[in-house]
Amino acid sequence: MKQILHRQNIIALGLMALMAATRMHHYGTSLHMPDASLAVFLLAGFFVASRMFFGALLLGAGALDYLAITHFGVSDYCITPAYWFLIPTYAVLWFAGRHYASIYQYSMRSLGVFAGVSFAATSVAFVISNGSFYLFSGRFVEMNMAEYAHRVAQYYVPYLSGAAVYLIPAALLYAVFARRTDTQHSEAH
């Protein structure tokens, strides 16, 4: 039990550090990695069962955004009443990670399930964050929903791929370490 808590704490710190290191650049550039927040919330749901950690990640994301805007020259364009909808956006990802943790089995098939859960959760997160921005930001009063959907569709693939940049290596690393742990366990018995 102590070893599991230690592992969860290490993973939690790593996920928080990853979010802190990448939160300043949403889609990334040739010099910066894309924002890892989507992947961090999904992976946190899988690895760290604590709801308090979910709250800590939310507070951390808000604090990082505040610092980015006030000290690092990042635009405050997205800070509108719609910003509050990042809570359900990230909750979808965290609960998807919790769901996957409850059905996880060490197998190749499970990687496919992880891919499906990740794709679905990230897609729902996209709809929540972008739909709420359209509805509540006050920036699209003259634009109808069809025109907005057409314009925002260009961001869907970068949104998914930004999460995939982190989720694919995380899944592969987990598969390697889980296999190694499983092999060590069987050799000990």
Please write the tens of the pLDDT for every residue from 142-182: 888 888 888 889 999 999 999 999 999 999 888 887 766 55
C-alpha 172, offset from chain centre: 17
Q: Are 23 and 41 in contact (CB under 8 A)?
A: no
d(C-alpha 60, C-alpha 177), whole Å:
28
Rounded-to-integer distance, Cα 39 and Cα 162, Å: 8
pLDDT at 104: 92
Highest mean pLDDT among 85-94, 126-135, 175-184: 85-94
Rounded (5°) CA angle 165-169-173:
165
Counting the structural domains of the chain, the total is 1
Q: What is the pLDDT of residues 16-68, one digit of tens each?
A: 999 999 987 655 555 568 899 999 999 999 999 889 999 999 999 999 999 98
* Amino acid (1-letter code) at residue 11: I
Domain that holds residue 110: 2-188
Residue 156, classed as helix, strand or coil, is helix
Query: To the nearest whole number, what is the mean pLDDT of the chain?
Result: 88
Amino acid at 187: E
Q: How far apart are CA 84 and CA 74, in angstroms?
A: 18
Rg over alpha carbons for the chain, rounded to the nearest Å, is 18
How far is the C-alpha of 8 from the C-alpha of 47, rounded, in Å? 7
